[in-house]
Chain A
């Protein structure tokens, strides 16, 4: 089966600019995750969707970050305006179902964002 697709792979922007990332999960996967991975750290969950509803966004900086998952399929993550500390790899992952099912999360290649 096709994997999780993310675009772009790389992005360089100036601080205070806006940026958007796109994710296409594996077909049929109900759960979609966005993670932020700063160099030298583990992935930090930003937001988790179950179909098109938000399950957890407790660590999403809502003053500048937003995410949506229209029709429960593709998702976009936006940063507006970007700060230097947003430089990181943004990972998208999907799994067949969340909650109490022992299901694997499949990851995309990630988008490396550099804010200068």
Chain B
């Protein structure tokens, strides 16, 4: 079975402060990890994926297999970062959950001016 846990439902920071959204996962194999974001009145969209090792809108996320975590970080939060963030995991062929894309409960990030 695969599971994604986002321990914080709500996270509030001030503009310019660092932000970290936590994500832990369980999966019997090597998963693919993603962060999706949903801005107000918009559809769910991909923010970044672990395999790309990219920085999108100043956000980065590192896959830590030892701690089974994929935390999302940004050094200086902006008001436009306010949104719902979902961590997601997809199992890879050979595991017990071939291709299944599982989401966490989500974290609402609010960045105050």
Q: Which residues of B contact A108 (CB under 8 A)?
A: 43
A105 near B46 with CB under 8 A, answer yes
- Interface stretch among B58-66, B68-76, B99-107? B99-107
Q: Which residues of A contact B99 (CB under 8 A)?
A: 31, 48, 50, 55-56, 98-100
Q: How far is the CB of A8 from chain B (nearest CB, A)?
A: 16
A residues 1-23 with Cβ under 8 Å of B?
Answer: 3
A residues 37-61 with Cβ under 8 Å of B?
Answer: 40-45, 48, 50, 55-56
B102 near A45 with CB under 8 A, answer yes
A99 near B93 with CB under 8 A, answer yes
Partner of B51, one of A40, A55, A102: A102
A42 near B105 with CB under 8 A, answer yes
Q: How far is the CA of A44 from the CA of B100 in the complex (A)?
A: 11
B97 near A56 with CB under 8 A, answer yes
Q: Is B92 among interface residues, defined by CB-CB distance under 8 A?
A: yes
Given known A-B contacts A42-B103, A45-B101, A56-B100, A110 and B93 have beta carbons under 8 A apart = no
A42 near B86 with CB under 8 A, answer yes
B103 near A100 with CB under 8 A, answer no
- B46 (CB) vs chain A CBs: closest residue: A104
Q: How far is the CA of A3 from the CA of B4 in the complex (A)?
A: 27
Q: Give 10 closest A-B pairs by Cβ, nearest first.
A: A98-B99, A42-B103, A107-B44, A100-B93, A42-B105, A99-B99, A104-B46, A100-B92, A43-B103, A99-B93
Sample of 17 A–B contacts (CB below 8 Å): A41-B105, A42-B4, A43-B86, A43-B103, A45-B101, A55-B98, A56-B98, A56-B99, A93-B101, A98-B98, A99-B98, A99-B99, A102-B32, A102-B51, A104-B34, A104-B49, A108-B43
Residues of B within 8 A of A (CB): 4, 6, 9, 32, 34, 43-46, 49, 51-52, 86, 90, 92-94, 97-106
